[in-house]
Structure 1
Amino acid sequence: MRSLKNNLAFHIEEYHHHFQVATADHHDLGEAYIRGLFKTEAKWRNMERMNEELDLSGDGQQRLQQFISDSPWSASALISDLAVKTSEFYASQPTYQRRDVGYILDESAHLKKGKQSVGVARQYAGVIGKVENCQVGVYASLVWNTHSTLINARLFLPETWTDDPARCEKVGIPTDQRTFKTKLELAREMVQADLEAGVEFDWVGGDGLYGHGLELGQALDEMGLSFLLDVHCDQQIYPFKPQLQVPERTSTRGAAPTKRRADVEALRVDAYAQQLLPCQWQSVTVRDGTKGPLKLEMHVRRVWLWDGEAETPTQRTLVISRRLTDNALKYSLSNDDAITTPIERFAYRQAQRYWVERAFQEAKSEL
């Protein structure tokens, strides 16, 4: 424990300058707050209990509260520094290859009681699989091989908050952060911010929330980034490029057709997967695990997407994996080419979300 405490103090020291403001140096409070998070049992973790564990001199509870709520040190600058240091640490390792580093997007819900916590509302909480009173954060992790580090986060503000200026004012939400933004918009902002800060990664990943539809994929395309985003089983695809045209008028009654249609019907990805023959799957070893090698059956091919409005269909690569243990299927879409990109790389990228999910589980159960 003494070694752990010393290592923690050494690590915090790297961020000392972030807690220095014009009139004071709050480095001691920053270290105390982090120690309090470790020492206080999660379900009782608040300023009062943390102060009891820390036994700070004077009015420790008030000083900690002021440090978190009112002190002008920049949390965003500290988080950005952490992101860059994580990127540099990965790059310093002997086995590092940039192609193995992913920027993984995910959300996590924090169950709450009452209505005072910023952003709290009745909304879907993935941690319990249903709508509940909670806060929801959009997070970014930098993942390399078996390592995963949270490097950015945005709190999702439901419209019940952004449409209520008085409520936002009461809890101190800055005026420039009271505009409603979707989770996809928050995700795009984080990617852009970390790129500008100098964080290095080879692709962007995320679950079905981020892969559903065209919005985030198109934004990442415009940023020149590779991505592999999971999609839901009802994702519509065209196995072959559809021709878009306005149907010919077949009757003199009613208005003439003006809206273009595809010349073939779209297909759900799960329906497509059911049609695959055994010879269309390829066995891939993704990594060595504690219970032996992780092996998946993989299928990769070019497909097209069309939302009914775009001028042309969008070409993507469909990535499907099948677990050998239970035949569970996972679907993703990528903007990397199906022909020139090794299937092993698609398999690796799709499997990397596991480390992010495990990191969230450990954070909520052990910290």
Structure 2
Amino acid sequence: MSGGTSVEETLELWARSLRSAKDRMAPLFTQKRVVDSACAFLDVLIGNEPRKTGWMRAEAAGDPGPWRQQALLGRGHWDADALRDVVRDYVIEHLGTEEGVLVIDETGFLKKGQASCGVGRQYTGSAGKITNCQIGVFGAYVSERGHAFIDRALYLPKDWTSKPERLKRAHVPDDVVFATKPALASMMIERSIEAGVPFRWVAADSVYGVGDVERTLRRAGIGYVLGVKGNHWFGSWATEPLIAGEAKDIAAGLPDQAWRRLSAGHVTKGERLYDWAYLPLADLDAEEFDCPIAGPWTRGLLIRRNIADGDLAYFTTWSPKGTTTQELVNVEGTRWRIEEGFETAKNEWGWHR
């Protein structure tokens, strides 16, 4: 073990941490038997079973069948948002730094039938096509200490929110109304700010690149690297030469010297190297947009080019003036952490079940 820590000491640390996590969530459940079921459910989730269906979880927990866990997840009365807050606070206690990044992304859960809440025919990147699924929007906290999910929201299409009886059958709270995915992301960002989550940046893909999320972050004085489509229009002022046009056309006109090969982070196979171009477009003083962080901020365009095939990706950026290209690249590079989280959750915890 690194740092001279023995296997026994490491196992005791894990056991102590798990007991602490259980103690934090126990007050959310009113009866001891429900607490026991919740703790057993957690034990099974982090266990070694390769598949975690209801029956397999029950067997691992020592139950005669899946009914206790089904009752916990389906019929039990406990506050899921309160549990979310417990998890968030635990994550920040252990991983929080002032340089943290909040990463927003979505994933799909393939489903059959029409009964599951929010299910419908919609596009999901998980399958790469329009299919019958649920869509969840997630927030993950990333820092040099690690990364973990801290928020989530189920996206409800208009085909659901326009049908009160359907919502009622799925036990959706009465105050839930239609919200776009960027609106859900903005609510997550605002919750994190109100809870005192320490983060300087937000990173997200092109679903969240314009509108609600940008406005929320600018007002809060938080920088961002948000994906946009190739046809997104960018314009500059007070630059020489002036820049104006769609992102893909701006990229096509860049000279070779505008590109720099930089790493977006280290993975098991090595550095994630791409060619990058960064174009500062305009400087605005914080007073002009009621930002609490004084001084000039820079709006910019960041472009990523795949070394192997030349494929391009585009990002709108907002950062304190003087932020380097490498800093922006580092922020964009945190996005793969949430993808890693989705993969782990679906493979190890049975999210796709």
Class of the TM-score when normalised by the shorter of the 2 chains: 0.7 to 0.9
**TM-aligned CA deviation for residue 15 of structure 1:** 3.6
2:39 is aligned to 31
Q: CA RMSD in A?
A: 3.0
1:191 is aligned to 189
Aligned runs of 1:126-275 on 2, under 5 Å? 126-145=125-144, 147-177=146-176, 179-211=177-209, 213-240=210-237, 267-275=245-253
**TM-aligned CA deviation for residue 81 of structure 1:** 1.9
Rounded Cα–Cα distance in structure 1 between residues aligned with 2:83 and 2:28: 13
1:64 equivalent among 60, 66, 69: 69
2:290 is aligned to none
Aligned residues: 324
2:309 is aligned to 326
Residues 320 and 13 of structure 1: CA distance in aligned 2, closer, same or farther (over 3 Å): same
8 Å contact kept, 2:280–2:301? yes
1:365 aligns with 2:343: no
Structure 2's unaligned 5+ residue stretches are 1-7, 283-296
Residues 8 and 141 of structure 1: CA distance in aligned 2, closer, same or farther (over 3 Å): farther
Which one has the largest radius of gyration? 1
**TM-aligned CA deviation for residue 201 of structure 1:** 1.0
Residues 5 and 127 of structure 1: CA distance in aligned 2, closer, same or farther (over 3 Å): farther
Residues 201 and 15 of structure 1: CA distance in aligned 2, closer, same or farther (over 3 Å): farther
Percentage of identical aligned residues: 27
2:53 equivalent among 45, 49, 73: 45
1:19 equivalent among 4, 23, 26: 26
What is the letter of the counterpart of residue 345 of structure 2? A
Rounded Cα–Cα distance in structure 2 between residues aligned with 1:157 and 1:288: 36
Rounded Cα–Cα distance in structure 2 between residues aligned with 1:194 and 1:359: 19
Residues 290 and 32 of structure 1: CA distance in aligned 2, closer, same or farther (over 3 Å): closer
**TM-aligned CA deviation for residue 148 of structure 1:** 2.4
Q: Deviations over 1:116-175 (max 9, x none)?
A: 111111111111111111010000001124832111100011111111111211121121
2:5 is aligned to none
What is the letter of the counterpart of residue 136 of structure 1? I
1:83 equivalent among 88, 108, 116: 88
8 Å contact kept, 1:120–1:133? yes
What is the letter of the counterpart of residue 38 of structure 2? G
Structure 1's unaligned 5+ residue stretches are 92-96, 243-263, 305-313
8 Å contact kept, 1:122–1:134? yes
Q: Deviations over 1:70-103 (max 9, x none)?
A: 3332221222122122122124xxxxx622x210
2:335 is aligned to 353
